[in-house]
Structure 1
Amino acid sequence: MLRSEGPTGAPDRVSAARDRASAARDSAARDAVRGGDPDDGKPKKEAESRLSQPHKRQYLSLWIELPLLLVVAFSAAVLLRTFAVQPFYIPSGSMEQTLQEGDKVLVLKLTTTLRTPQRGEVVVFRGTDSWDPEYRPAGGEDDSLLSTVSTAVLDLIGLAEPDEKDFIKRVIAVGGDTVMCCDPDGNVVVNGVSLQEDEYVYDNAPVEPEPGTCHSRRFDQVTVPEGEVWVMGDHRGNSKDSRCQGPVPVENIIGRAIALVWPTDRATELEIPAAFDVLDGTTGSEGGQSASGTVDDGLPAAWGTGWDPPPSLPATATTAPAAGARARRLAP
């Protein structure tokens, strides 16, 4: 005998089927949120792969950009050092007390490109072949690649030893000026005007013996050739300079030292001393007023006998005598 379903049987089965289908969809959704079925790792691995791709691209980009940034920074430093500013290490005591051995200065190169050096400026220059070095680098020459690279890097930051042909001195006279020493008070005289150098000279006491040597203050009048400068160290007793090595061609000047930057407790701007203000507007052909009195031809009334430069100087040409003594002009 067949038993018929009650009026409510079919709806119950339909409702149960719907519940099972809904539960299955919910379970699938939860699995999708968690990254896939634990029993099936493919969806999860694909999701992790998609998530890690941006991080990989960022990691690779860093390794590409970092060397590029280093190259750009190094190139900028090289250009800056070559054309604008160069740090320079002071290798000797010839500029004491203004600059002491081991100090570091910044050298502005653009000044020599845009204008000629001025009296009183501290300049770095390459000595001519006749200039004897004041300093010799320790350890001799090393042409290895490692040494070349390390020297270049140290040079950029001002820690490399300078070349033995690099000098740093103060410009005392420029092309066309006459310069000599000493007046009766032991002062250098430029264009007939005595310089009061106590502000920057290490020991400004007169030194009379051995005229024309680098260990004597005294030298006869010299007319500085055009295109050259007469330089001297601030420590006159410890400086090999134009007194015995001749004037320096302007084209040999690397730049002007504008600031002492190390040690930091002595850091300062290297300005032109006020002693040179009295030379404004003077030339070598003009007379002047010296500390010893008025002179009628641009020379002090008393300044010693003639000066014969040592053999290390270039060839010389004698000009007409002035004030009863020889005046010399040093050839380039």
Structure 2
Amino acid sequence: MIDEQTEKRRGSFWRELPILLGVAILVAVLVRAFVLQTFYIPSPSMEHTLNVLDRVLVNKLVYDFRDPRRGEIIVFKAPSDWQSGAEGEDFIKRIIGEPGDHIICCDSQERLTINGKSLDEPYIYKDADGNQDPAADRKFDITVPANRLWVMGDHRSASGDSLEHYEETGDVEEATIPEDSVVGRAFTVFWPVKRATWLSVPKGFDDIPDAK
């Protein structure tokens, strides 16, 4: 026989359940809005670091405490004249240059130089035959404006990025993105499971000196 105390506990649980569900939903909404968000990869512009339909987790809070850094993969709200094709409004690229950085293409080994130091980029896309995209498909010499970032896709020949827009406009302001357009840092691939990995900053960026 079910005693009166048990009935009260059951009744209390069912009365509290909607409140618990509401709190859980509110927490999930707040986390998505301010802390973490998932994004899927719609285009080949970051292959093979990120493949089409990979899903990444983005830390939306990190840049509230520090500035974006070279080598990090970021999601950002693309300028209106960048928005075309599969990527929509949210773009994902790698930061190559911070404000004040002097970037040149290229050195004698066809590598980008940043503030006078050559950058090794082993993550740049290679096709099935092992042929790697060039670091850039034309020579350039730019200095990243204040409060802006120079971003590029790892699949250079398939990326609408700072280089493409600089080639189109010749205007480094138009070719860079404002720092305040950055949504957050992509820090891990979590799906598909077989591709799960941390998105750490490549070691080549460790040797790049600060802008003078």
Normalising by structure 1, report the TM-score: 0.56
> Compared with structure 1, are the counterparts of its residues 206 and 87 closer, same or farther at alpha carbon in structure 2 (3 Å cutoff)?
closer
Q: 2:104, 2:114 within 8 Å by CA — same for their partners in 1?
A: yes
Determine helix, strand or coil for the equivalent of 1:68. helix
Determine helix, strand or coil for the equivalent of 2:75. strand
Determine helix, strand or coil for the equivalent of 1:184. coil
For 2:53 and 2:64, locate their aligned partners in 1 and report how far apart those are by CA, in whole Å. 28
- Matching residue's letter, 1:177: D
Q: CA deviation at 1:66?
A: 1.7
Could you say which residue in structure 1 is the equivalent of 2:125?
202
Matches within 5 A, 1:180-195: 180-195=104-119
- Matching residue's letter, 2:164: C
Matched, 1:230 2:150: yes
Matches within 5 A, 1:56-95: 56-95=7-46
Q: Which runs of 5+ in 1 are unaligned?
A: 1-47, 137-163, 208-215, 286-332
Could you say which residue in structure 1 is the equivalent of 2:177?
248
Q: Deviations over 1:231-285 (max 9, x none)?
A: 0000001110011231111100000111111111221111100111120x331x4
Q: 2:133, 2:157 within 8 Å by CA — same for their partners in 1?
A: no
Q: CA deviation at 1:205?
A: 4.1
> Compared with structure 1, are the counterparts of its residues 181 and 77 closer, same or farther at alpha carbon in structure 2 (3 Å cutoff)?
same
For 2:192 and 2:44, locate their aligned partners in 1 and report how far apart those are by CA, in whole Å. 15
Q: Deviations over 1:267-316 (max 9, x none)?
A: 1111100111120x331x4xxxxxxxxxxxxxxxxxxxxxxxxxxxxxxx
Q: Deviations over 1:72-130 (max 9, x none)?
A: 11111111122211111111111111111111111111211111100000000000122
For 1:250 and 1:238, locate their aligned partners in 2 and report how far apart those are by CA, in whole Å. 23
> Compared with structure 1, are the counterparts of its residues 89 and 206 closer, same or farther at alpha carbon in structure 2 (3 Å cutoff)?
closer
**How many residue pairs align between the two structures?**
198
- Find the partner of 2:49 among 82, 98, 117: 98
Q: 1:83, 1:110 within 8 Å by CA — same for their partners in 2?
A: yes
Matches within 5 A, 1:9-158: 53-135=4-86
Q: Which runs of 5+ in 2 are unaligned?
A: 127-131, 166-174
Q: Which has the higher contact order (CA 8 A, sep 6+)?
A: 2
For 2:89 and 2:149, locate their aligned partners in 1 and report how far apart those are by CA, in whole Å. 17
- Matching residue's letter, 1:261: F
Q: 1:172, 1:232 within 8 Å by CA — same for their partners in 2?
A: yes
For 2:52 and 2:144, locate their aligned partners in 1 and report how far apart those are by CA, in whole Å. 29
For 1:231 and 1:173, locate their aligned partners in 2 and report how far apart those are by CA, in whole Å. 7
Q: More strand by proportion, 1 or 2?
A: 2
For 1:243 and 1:129, locate their aligned partners in 2 and report how far apart those are by CA, in whole Å. 16
Q: 1:186, 1:205 within 8 Å by CA — same for their partners in 2?
A: no
Q: 1:188, 1:195 within 8 Å by CA — same for their partners in 2?
A: yes
Q: CA deviation at 1:58?
A: 3.3
- Matching residue's letter, 2:29: V
For 2:195 and 2:134, locate their aligned partners in 1 and report how far apart those are by CA, in whole Å. 29
Q: CA deviation at 1:53?
A: 4.4
Could you say which residue in structure 1 is the equivalent of 2:210?
282
For 1:130 and 1:180, locate their aligned partners in 2 and report how far apart those are by CA, in whole Å. 24
Could you say which residue in structure 2 is the equivalent of 1:321?
none
Larger radius of gyration: 1
For 1:95 and 1:70, locate their aligned partners in 2 and report how far apart those are by CA, in whole Å. 38
Give % identity.
43
Q: 2:188, 2:198 within 8 Å by CA — same for their partners in 1?
A: yes
Query: CA RMSD of the aligned region, Å?
Result: 1.9
Determine helix, strand or coil for the equivalent of 2:45. coil
